Structure 1
Amino acid sequence: MRLALFDQDRLGLVNGDHLVDVTELLAGPGPYGPAGPLQRHIERGGALPADLSDLSGLPRVPLADAKLEAPLPRPGKIVGAPVNYLDHKAEMAYPTSIAELGVFLKANSSVIGPGQDVLLPYRDLRTDQEGELAVVIGRTARHVPAADALSYVFGYSCLLDITVRSTEDRSTRKSFDTFTPLGPWITTADEVPDPDALELRCAVAGEERQRTSTADLIFGVAELVAYTSSVMTLHPGDVIATGTPAGVGPIRHGDRITVDIERIGRLEVGVDGTRATPYAERPGRRARTAD
């Protein structure tokens, strides 16, 4: 099942070339707040009605006419997995991988949805695309063994971990507003029998930059959920970005970025650099000196 957020707080079940409006059926009555109705559905257990075979009585919207939003516009937290592919480790000449680095956090305010624009913050620093598989947690997880970890997953999505190549900490460089495109929907875990066997492709301006299989992850999905839950409690609706393969590169004003993941979907966003400023003019750029 694929669940999408559309047209301002409506929850849709993707059914062929239409969205079936299942907002009240799955999330109950609104309002849903900034986290949206899918978050409500996941927090309520993510269970489906006993019979979804007859959807004829529910409103339908052509998928082509719907304005898709990020399926989880305000997740509780976004956990990133740095250097989780060996080819990316070699590409960036990192001496360490996730095994030594652990995980990091991104601001949940950095999330945008399909069709929106990544806003470049600086005109004179490189900003890169990083295509990734996103894991959405379905129930509270703490010290979960890897053998049971996939049972804590609600579903999967496509994600871009946009990154400025500056000197700041990862959480700063990756947390600018618009730096976590997510979508176009959440594909529930029952549709993905093996999340460690998915083809991932990422293209910028029509040129393919990244192609991999999630089989090449250093920490596979189950191990990543288990490890992360040993550090912090994971709550329903939390998102784990599983890491990016080799092929990261600069994005520029006017580019279109796409991430395609087998069984999951295709996410496309634009790039806008019209409001970018020089790095030297950022707030706090000058160190204070004693009088």
Structure 2
Amino acid sequence: MQLCRFNDDRLGLIRGDEVIDVTAALKVLPPCSYPLPKHDLLIAHLDTVRAEIEQLIQGAPLRHALTDVLLLSPVANPGKVVAAPVNYAKHLAEARDDQAIHHQNQIGEIQRVGLFLKASSSVVGASEGLRIARPDRRNDHEIELVAVIGKAGRNIPAAQALEHVAGYCVGLDMTVRGPEERSMRKSPDGYTVLGPWLTTADEVADVGTLDLLIEVNGEVRQRANTRDLIIGVAGLIEFASSFYTLQPGDILMTGTPEGVSQVFPGDRMVAQISGLGRMTVDIDD
């Protein structure tokens, strides 16, 4: 299934160029009260919701043209956003070679420097647009494959890691260049763009062979394939879960390939990953 959040937190099923409103399926979610759970409720009960959706679509639910809806982040309440730095060899080389990227920071291999966290408040959907947080700095696009954790776990072995994935989506890890730590420069509001929807894991035959592409104002800036990841999705889950428990709805950004470049107010970014959809993100003037 391909599921989206749209408009005023409606739940949608993607079918071709239409969105089928299946918000009624959310009635199967368990009620909760303070203290609220530390995970995303929908992702934690995704199988139950999917079964309810199958029942709903036997009727005649409301349909919308995809072009008429506002696409929000497919995950409403991620507990944490885990991100992989320099996880493509060619991006590691460009980051080391370009002073405007590294700002005299040491750029180490991912196996040595590890992962980092982004603020969950930085998460937005494709239709929400983006405002440059620091116009006095260089601000770059970074397209990434995103895995959404579906089952909690700690110290998850790589051989079992993909069993913990609910689904995948396209991600933009927007970045302010400068001397500060990555987690600060990548966490302004809106600097984690997820979308256009969640493609459930059972629909992705091989997460290690997906094509990534981003265009800015019609110009191709980044083009790669997930086969070039230094540490693949399963290895990243093993790595991350060796430090902290992963919860349903946690976001895993797997790293960006070479070709990162500056964007400006008024630019339009179009990012796509094979099988996961295509999202358009406008940068506010």
Fold shared per TM-score above 0.5:
yes
Aligned-residue offset at 1:51: 8.1
2:58 to 48, 55, 67: 55
Kept in 1: contact 2:25–2:52 (CA 8 A): no
Matches within 5 A, 1:145-156: 145-156=157-168
Confirm or deny: 8 A CA contact 1:88 1:244 kept in the other structure: yes
2:264 paired residue among 245, 252, 256: 252
Please state how far the C-alpha of 1:31 moved relative to its aligned partner: 9.0
| AA in 2 matched with 1:4 | C
What is residue 285 of structure 1 aligned with on the other side?
none
Q: Deviations over 1:130-170 (max 9, x none)?
A: 00000000010211110110010000001100111111111
Gap runs ≥5 in structure 2: 97-105
**Contact 1:157/1:182 (<8 A) preserved:** yes
* Alignment correspondent of 2:103: none
Alignment RMSD? 2.2
Which structure's residues are more often helix, by fraction?
Answer: 2
SS at match of 2:207: coil
Say whether residues 1:129 and 2:141 are aligned partners. Answer: yes
How much has 1:216 moved relative to structure 2? 0.3
2:200 corresponds in structure 1 to 188
Structure 1 unpaired stretches of 5+: 275-291
Of residues 108-117 and 211-220 in structure 1, the stretch that sits farther from structure 2 once superposed is: 108-117
CA shift digits 1:151-202 (9 cap, x unpaired): 1000000110011111111110000011011101000001101111100001
Range moving further from structure 2, 12-21 or 253-262? 12-21
Question: In 2 relative to 1, CA 268–31 (structure 1 residues): closer, same or farther, beyond 3 Å?
Answer: farther
Structure 2 match to 1:44: 45
Give 1:30 shift: 9.7
Change (3 A) 1:120 1:230: same
Aligned residues: 270
Q: Following TM superposition, by how much is the alpha carbon of 1:123 offset from its aligned partner in structure 2, in angstroms?
A: 2.5
The residue aligned with 1:25 is 25
CA 1:27/1:173 → structure 2, altered by over 3 Å: closer, same or farther? farther
Whole-Å separation in 2 of the counterparts to 1:21 and 1:31: 21
Q: Which moved more, 1:179-188 or 1:58-67?
A: 58-67
TM-score normalised per structure 2? 0.88
| 2:74 corresponds to 1:71 | yes
What is the 5 A alignment of 1:71-220?
A: 71-93=74-96, 95-220=107-232
Query: Residue in 2 aligned with 1:16?
Result: 16
Identity %: 45
Q: TM-score normalized by structure 1?
A: 0.87
- Change in CA separation of 1:27 and 1:214 when aligned onto 2, cut-off 3 Å: farther
Indicate how the Cα distance of structure 1 residues 31 and 79 shifts in structure 2: closer, same or farther if over 3 A, else same.
same
Deviation string for 1:46-94 (max 9, x for gaps)? Answer: 3431882753332222222222111124311100100100000011116
Q: Call closer, same or farther: CA 1:95–1:61 in 2, change over 3 Å.
A: closer
